[in-house]
Structure formats: C-alpha cells, structure tokens
Amino acid sequence: MNDNNREIQLPDYVLVNPRLTDDPVYRQGEIGVITAAILNTDEFFVGFDDGQVGLYSADALLLLKQPESIYEYMHQNALKLSVDDFMNLKNIALLLDYGTPKDQRKAMEIAQKNPGVLSAALISLEESLGINQAYKRGR
C-alpha cells in the first residue's frame, strides 16, 4: 500500500485566516468550504457562499478543533477567560458535539465573530493535516 494515496477527511467548513496578508480574493475572516484539494502541492480550493472560489495553502485556512480540546482549554484557563469568551467556547464545543454540518457552521460563525476565542477554538489546516513544508508560498 502506498502512503501517498492515503485518504484524509477534510473539514466541512474552514475560515480564511483573518490575519492573512496576501489574499487574492480578499476573503480574510470568511467561512468557506473546501471544494477541491491537491495535497502534494498544498493547494486548497475554497468556495464561498456567493459562489466565488479562492486558492489557498493549508497554513492560510483554519478549522475547528475537536470539542475535547476546547473543553480542556476551558478547564485549564477558566479563571483567565472572560465570561463571554468562556460562554462562546462552551457553545462552540456543544455545537461540535452535535456533529451536524449545520451545527458545525454555527460553531464556526461563533468563532468568526469572536476574535477572543480564535486561538482556543481553531487550528490551522496545515497543523491538523501534519503538513510539513520545506518552503512556503505566498498566496
């Protein structure tokens, strides 16, 4: 069996990193869906609600962490988190526990609208997939 042909599960929704400085379709901070992926060249085509498609590398896309990871973060940082951030993280984790695409979209929207929870609720696609690149491309 060839490891290069392994199948991977891509997330239902991704958020274009709001801190992305070079976005050809100007979608920083917007939610989209991966419509196609070429892993060996680090190319991810992301479709948006208006039908536009953008080409991104994995480090430009964020996805929701597993609910267990969010709960653990909340437990470890309960005294440091604001009440709003704590509630937002709790709602994100609960929605993810339901597991439906509609609930995942709602969870992503909560993270999108609340910058205080981004690092606790989201991880880069690059890190999630374990992609190690010898170089980075500016896209």
pLDDT in tens, 42-92: 999 999 999 999 999 999 999 999 999 999 999 999 999 999 999 999 999
Tell how strand 122-124 and strand 31-38 pair up. unpaired
Q: What is the pLDDT of residue 6?
A: 58
Asked if the model's pLDDT at residue 105 lies above 80, the reply is yes
Between CA 17 and CA 13 the distance in angstroms is 13
Side chain identity at 83, as an amino acid letter? V
Q: What does the mean pLDDT of the chain come to?
A: 89
Name which residue leads in pLDDT, 5 or 32.
Answer: 32
Domain covering 3-61, topology:
SH3 type barrels. (2.30.30)
* Domain spans, the chain: 3-61, 64-123
Provide mean pLDDT across the span 16-21: 94
User: How much of the chain, in percent, has pLDDT values that exceed 70?
Assistant: 89
Dist. CA 113–CA 130, nearest whole Å:
27
- Using the predicted structure, report yes or no on whether residue 134 has a pLDDT greater than 80: no
pLDDT at 135: 41
Residue 2 has what pLDDT? 43
User: Phi, psi at residue 34, to the nearest 5°?
Assistant: -70, 120
Binned at pLDDT 50, 70 and 90, residue 7 comes out as: low
